[in-house]
Structure formats: C-alpha cells, structure tokens
Structure 1
C-alpha cells in the first residue's frame, strides 16, 4: 500500500515538473498557436488549448491500462497524473478562470498566491511570462500574501 501511495505521489509531482517545462518551453514556444487561445478571451466553453488536457489525460489512461492487470507502478503513476489533472481542473479552470461557478474567491493565502501568480502569467503573452507551474508558486507571490519563507 505504501508503494502505491509513493508511486501516485511521484506521478503527481512529476506532472507538475513536466507541465511546468512543457508550458514554458513548448506552449510558449513552438505550440504557441494552440496555447494562445488560453491567453485570449474566446467565445464558448472550450478553447483549442484544451487539446493539452486530452494529451495529458490520454497519457494517464494509457498508463493506468498498461498497469491495471498487476497494479504495477504504471497504474499508480497514471493515478497520480489523474489526481493532478483533477486538482488542476478545480484550481485552474474552476477557481482561477471561473469556467464553472462552483467556488467564491479563495480565502487561503496559498490559493491567493496561486491565483496572483496565474494572473501575472496572463498579464504577458508569449515572451517574458512568469509562473509556468500551478502548485509550486514563485516566492514573490508568497511574499505578497504575507507568507514568510
């Protein structure tokens, strides 16, 4: 059981690392034409940028299916990626961008720091952007919330 928890946690953490790198170097690079739909207001519920969700979700599903017979590390890493995706959806799409009206403005300092960091990310376009991850918040946004290092 502990091994399953560790693999799931690793999947979650690796997803934050990979999504930061993919966001910074690919989405704000060669894949900007897809990602820029997220940086501009679009009509409708979906945006072209949602293709990345399909790619990440597909990766999680593939890993879960590959490891389902023996519940090996692939299964649990896929679960960690899925947990990351659900958490990302709630934080990013629901809480920050209000694609669904489930929550009011965040009250915790951590959630406020995440929201401010993401707003700063959107204040620029392709180049010179900041804060490419979601759960790991740059220090400057912690300080704005009065959280000491």
Structure 2
C-alpha cells in the first residue's frame, strides 16, 4: 500500500514538473500555434489547446492499462497523473477560467495564490512575455495578502 501511495505521488509530481517544463519551453515555444488559442478570447467551450489535455490523459490511460493486471508501478503512476488531471480541470478550467461556473473567486490563500499566478500568466497573449508556468509551482509573490 505504501508503494502504491508513493508511486501515485510520484506520478502527480512528475506531471507538475514536466507540465511546467512543457508549458514554458514547448507550449510557449515551438507548440505556440496550438497553445496560443488558450491565450486568445474564444466563444467556444473547446480550444485547440485542449489537445494537450488529451495527450496527457492518454499517457495516464496507457500507464493504467499496462499496470492493471498486476497493479504495478505503471498503474499507480497513471493514477497520479489522473489525479493531477482532475485537480488541473477543477483549478484551471473551473476555478480560474470559469469554463464551468461552479465556484466563485477563491478565498482560500493557497487557491487564491494559484488564481493570481494564472491571471498574471494571461496578462499577455504573446509567446515570450508570460510568467508563472506551473499549476502548483507558483512564485511566492502570488501568495502575499492583498492590501485593502
């Protein structure tokens, strides 16, 4: 059981670290033509950028299926990636971008920091001017209390 928890956490952490790297160096680099749809106003529920979610989700499904018979490390890493995907959807698509209007602006300081960091990331619609590329890896400055 400890191994399962450890590999699930590993999958989650690998997703955040690789997600940060992919977002900064690939999405805001050679894959900008796909990712820029996320930085532009849209009237559609879906955007071309959603292909990245399908890619990451597919990796999780493949790992889960490969490890399903023995519930080995591949299964649990796939579960960690899936857990990350669920939290990504709730935090990024629902809470920050309000693609589904389930929640109001967060009041919790941790969620508010994530919210602020992502808003700062979207202050530009240019490939090279963005900051804060992670979902959970967020610069400390975004967690400071707002002055009233």
**Smaller-chain TM-score bracket:** over 0.9
Distance apart, 1:87 and its partner CA: 0.2
Per-residue CA deviation, residues 78-117 of structure 1 (Å, 9 max, x unaligned), is: 0000000000000000000000011111010111111110
What is residue 13 of structure 1 aligned with on the other side?
13
* 1:127 maps onto 2:128 in alignment: yes
* 1:32 maps onto 2:27 in alignment: no
TM-score of the pair, normalised by structure 2 = 0.96
Gaps of 5+ in 1: none
What's the RMSD between the two structures over aligned residues?
1.1
Q: Find the residue that maps to 1:30 and give its secondary structure.
A: coil
Distance apart, 1:43 and its partner CA: 1.7
Q: Find the residue that maps to 1:29 and give its secondary structure.
A: coil
Distance apart, 1:128 and its partner CA: 2.6
Per-residue CA deviation, residues 52-74 of structure 1 (Å, 9 max, x unaligned), is: 00000000000000000100000
TM-score of the pair, normalised by structure 1 = 0.95
Per-residue CA deviation, residues 19-54 of structure 1 (Å, 9 max, x unaligned), is: 000000000000000000000011211000000000
Post-superposition, which runs of at least 4 consecutive aligned residues in structure 1 deviate over 3 A?
Answer: none
Q: Distance in 2 between matches of 1:126 and 1:145?
A: 28
Check conservation: 1:113, 1:145, Cα contact below 8 A.
no
Q: Distance in 2 between matches of 1:110 and 1:17?
A: 19
Larger relative helix fraction: 1
Distance apart, 1:144 and its partner CA: 4.5
